[in-house]
Structure 1
């Protein structure tokens, strides 16, 4: 349900009730405006639209919406009116009413500002007057602005263009969503200083308005993003930009079952260097979980990286000692060991207890890691507070996933460049220590912000689809080029596994297995060639061999994309694609032209 709309010098998409990609003169000025209903654990309740009337006029548009947001004990309805006028103004007005009693953390508007505004000056208006500041360049651990009723700012590279955004119905504040790998700064209603979760009673009403005005725009450039119509320029060079680090797969023996012989045979064919297992030592069956992880690693002939959580302070040292001793007795090869407490980050006490446990078990040479098992937000805040025990660690581990705040494909793809930024920020905070990316998961596994029972691990059916394969390619590229010391990504087996398995033991390789990991098979630890993608809809990774390059190119968008590949110095190529037309080599300039289907991964073996 997507409509491309115009309002004077502005272009904007209205998709599933969300204003997306507000552009002026072809430049993005606002990423999104949407109504959010968030439960007590910050889960987003999706709307079901009962009215969706969109009308485009010659010089503006109007959309009338009505939605029901019902999930569990939450039952909330709202109506919205979205207008765009010829003078470059947008207004989104909403009125909602609760039809049940429930707890909520937030109801109302969120406005996303693109990450490209980092460093841009901004004037913020509050009830006390105006203050000047800037969108943070380094990822900010806390809110940069509070108590906002309006803000105005310029746009990088567009002299004279100014964006004004005003809010009614609540006080608003801003957070740096790059902490969760979202490519945005978020202005949201209801300050976090107010107690939450808050009680909502049946009949309670929420009314809010967001107004956006853009001045100084060139109306001639309001036609949207013209780059989507031209071929994407892709340049691949043998100049190196890093190396493919050791890769690990995630394994939960309790949830996903044993790794059977068929799955093991498939997984052994991949360039995988270790198995990663998270074990809660507070669970009654932690020994079974640990033994299962060790058995899985043995079945694959791989070392094991353990992330152990011991929440109870009075028994943490004892449990960590028992864990390390059990691993030592089993003869398991340990690649690394990380320890966490009740929160999402490693504390000095857990690091000290884990080091003592490893030493006592004769595993003193095993690297001790610590960091965040949830998101960079928690690590960033601990680093600022001075509570992250970097001096007791051999490296920093950092979990990340693309679905903390948004779940649509476009938002998921937008997280990819932020993964590299998070690694760079984490390394700087840790004084240059190695950053181990993982677990890198497609869905959120640890909800550090939950105020109640967070529920069981969820599976996303897209993990078995080409979309997840294309996204994972982009993730490997971004993290490897950022210098990650290792990457633990993708479940090995199970419902979300790289090799999909079920209770019968049947094993089936997913698109990510076939088109990505199998293609990387001969390139374990290879140097990476430099790739330059002219558009965010295309991702590529280029491992090198002595005389060639294997270029894997992914379309991470939902539409076909024409690509023109430049490969200076290449004297020939072979293409490997599933059921697609052969690429065309231009004799005139040596470029290779081809069209990528949505979420396709194409393979080119280039000879030099």
Structure 2
């Protein structure tokens, strides 16, 4: 009925501050259950929240009272409510507003780039046989379509994004908010919800790996592991906004001399300052590519300014028109497939859509730890991926579609000044390093991702970097478990995909003449055929 209710604190980079919780009290009453606890959030200053929860057979009430101490700047502090997406996307909802108005609407079918509902006092929707009303108080609430970031939820949060952020909490004014949820059985047929689309006779896409220039130099000196993984393509990151690109291009050319059987795609972050001569700028990029000797297979162009997100209510930064940028790129690289979209994630593509008529393909990445980083939430992102791809296919309007990089850890944070360092190797939102990359979890999640994309008609998917914290190979030049999954899937490029499903903790895919299965849970699971799979295990059958 409701996926999650939480009191959250976000810092000025939209990082979720981990609470230190204590003093949990659980009391049984004649009506149900009362639970209370205290949470402390350490930032530049400190927030202390007292949270109380009452649960009965008919409903749930949660109240949070938070006091700040010191200079506390936050992008958002308050209660958040998550609605699930399965059976909800595309379904009806009644919205009560703070002025007493009531509107009839629907949860978005295709992913909404902006807030689907604003000024929310209450939401009423169907969930199976239940009619559910969720009423919020203590601030002005609105909803965002969290499927954009890979979350399997619609999120109702407080403090509208149109208001300035970060903002400072006052020691003299506590934050007091509450949410009340009620449910009762509803007769009649449940309204139909959104259906995800695929393509007829789907074939598994080509597999690419992201490489930086430093990684290309390392691979050129010891190419054995790259040759063993045998991806069809490499996505070569080139950032012209940080300086000359000649050395980076020469590094890719040197790797190509050692591994010529792979296609080398350029991910070109172009400077594109306002008022610049785009023809001259892109001619210089093309000349640098020619000097390097690199034989590029395609070029994806993203203006540097678009690596940062532009939230609702914010002003777009100055940038030449995308149509002019892609016209200059086409003139400079007339013989290469030209791509556009986002070098970060789907929200940036969805909110600033490229002129697809000028492009051969669109692309964006995926990171499952933007809003939540626990194991369950990360696996739940696989529910959102088909809905992202359905919406992305609509944006592509016939252009080819490439997905990735798609990695557990975040390589670039478009929502703040930095990714989050993670020296303690925690489950941490927007972290640049995730401990699960080293183990079976990343292998199972990547296999699950392959199952969710297999019928979407993608041209290319990029499930990892070659090296580093998001890579297939660790710092000792040893393959991580996820490398075996990617190697196996790369070998199935172009094979006809049959039945796919994710259910009961298992991801299953028929491809070619093989039957692939993975356990997406930490516990052993019975498999349809053969012995039980260990936690996060996978195999061909």
With over 3 angstroms needed to count, the CA separation of the structure-2 counterparts of 1:184 and 1:392, relative to structure 1, is same
After TM superposition, give the deviation of residue 212 of structure 1 in Å.
0.7
Partner of 2:289: 327
Partner of 1:80: 51
- Asked if 1:554 corresponds to 2:525, the answer is no
Partner of 2:328: 353
Q: Any unmatched runs of 5+ in structure 2?
A: 188-199, 310-320, 422-430
After TM superposition, give the deviation of residue 319 of structure 1 in Å.
4.3
Which residue of the other structure, out of 239, 242, 256, is the alignment partner of 1:283?
Answer: 242
After TM superposition, give the deviation of residue 297 of structure 1 in Å.
4.2
Partner of 2:232: 273
Aligned-partner Cα distance in 1 for 2:258–2:216: 15
Which residue of the other structure, out of 374, 386, 392, is the alignment partner of 2:358?
Answer: 392
Aligned-partner Cα distance in 2 for 1:193–1:306: 36
Q: Deviations over 1:510-541 (max 9, x none)?
A: 10112x13333643322223134442x11123
Which residue of the other structure, out of 38, 42, 57, is the alignment partner of 1:70?
Answer: 42
Q: Deviations over 1:152-176 (max 9, x none)?
A: 1222x42xx2111111111100111
RMSD: 2.5
- Asked if 1:437 corresponds to 2:403, the answer is yes
Which residue of the other structure, out of 490, 496, 515, is the alignment partner of 2:470?
Answer: 496
Which residue of the other structure, out of 122, 137, 146, is the alignment partner of 1:177?
Answer: 146
Which residue of the other structure, out of 492, 501, 508, is the alignment partner of 2:478?
Answer: 508
With over 3 angstroms needed to count, the CA separation of the structure-2 counterparts of 1:419 and 1:331, relative to structure 1, is same
Q: Deviations over 1:328-385 (max 9, x none)?
A: 2222221210111111499223212222222xxxxx22100001122222222223xx
Q: Any unmatched runs of 5+ in structure 1?
A: 1-28, 219-239, 359-363, 566-582, 584-593
With over 3 angstroms needed to count, the CA separation of the structure-2 counterparts of 1:507 and 1:58, relative to structure 1, is farther
Aligned-partner Cα distance in 2 for 1:202–1:286: 50
Q: Deviations over 1:424-481 (max 9, x none)?
A: 212222322211112222223333333x456777111211111011110111222221
Which residue of the other structure, out of 306, 313, 333, is the alignment partner of 1:343?
Answer: 306
Aligned-partner Cα distance in 1 for 2:79–2:283: 48
The two structures have a TM-score, normalised by structure 2, of 0.87
Partner of 2:537: 600
Partner of 1:34: 6
After TM superposition, give the deviation of residue 402 of structure 1 in Å.
1.1
Which residue of the other structure, out of 238, 245, 267, is the alignment partner of 1:307?
Answer: 267
The two structures have a TM-score, normalised by structure 1, of 0.78
- Cα contact 1:52–1:63 (8 A) shared by 2: yes
The secondary structure found in structure 1 opposite 2:463 is strand
Aligned-partner Cα distance in 2 for 1:520–1:553: 12
- Cα contact 1:180–1:375 (8 A) shared by 2: yes
Partner of 1:49: 21
Aligned-partner Cα distance in 2 for 1:343–1:496: 22
- Cα contact 1:271–1:520 (8 A) shared by 2: no
Aligned-partner Cα distance in 2 for 1:149–1:596: 46
Partner of 1:225: none
Aligned-partner Cα distance in 2 for 1:476–1:517: 9
With over 3 angstroms needed to count, the CA separation of the structure-2 counterparts of 1:339 and 1:455, relative to structure 1, is farther
Partner of 2:136: 167
The secondary structure found in structure 2 opposite 1:343 is helix
Aligned-partner Cα distance in 1 for 2:45–2:398: 46
Which residue of the other structure, out of 67, 72, 77, is the alignment partner of 1:102?
Answer: 72
- Cα contact 1:257–1:494 (8 A) shared by 2: no
Partner of 2:96: 125
Partner of 1:12: none
- Asked if 1:244 corresponds to 2:181, the answer is no
- Cα contact 1:61–1:85 (8 A) shared by 2: yes
Partner of 2:164: 195
Aligned-partner Cα distance in 2 for 1:327–1:529: 40
- Cα contact 1:173–1:188 (8 A) shared by 2: yes
Aligned-partner Cα distance in 2 for 1:274–1:316: 32
- Cα contact 2:252–2:294 (8 A) shared by 1: no
- Cα contact 1:55–1:61 (8 A) shared by 2: yes
Aligned-partner Cα distance in 2 for 1:241–1:532: 16
The secondary structure found in structure 2 opposite 1:179 is helix
With over 3 angstroms needed to count, the CA separation of the structure-2 counterparts of 1:61 and 1:524, relative to structure 1, is same
- Cα contact 1:151–1:164 (8 A) shared by 2: yes
Partner of 2:313: none
Structure with the bigger percentage of strand = 1
- Cα contact 2:93–2:125 (8 A) shared by 1: yes
- Cα contact 1:401–1:440 (8 A) shared by 2: yes
- Asked if 1:148 corresponds to 2:127, the answer is no
- Cα contact 1:50–1:67 (8 A) shared by 2: yes
Aligned-partner Cα distance in 2 for 1:324–1:32: 50
Aligned ranges 1:206-605 → 2 under 5 Å:
206-216=175-185, 241-254=201-214, 258-259=218-219, 261-262=221-222, 264-284=223-243, 286-301=245-260, 302-311=262-271, 312-314=273-275, 317=278, 318-341=280-303, 342-344=305-307, 347-358=322-333, 364-383=334-353, 388-450=354-416, 452=417, 458-501=432-475, 506-514=476-484, 516-520=485-489, 522-535=491-504, 537-544=505-512, 548-549=513-514, 551-565=515-529, 583=530, 594-604=531-541
Partner of 2:32: 60
After TM superposition, give the deviation of residue 215 of structure 1 in Å.
1.1
After TM superposition, give the deviation of residue 398 of structure 1 in Å.
1.7
The secondary structure found in structure 2 opposite 1:329 is helix
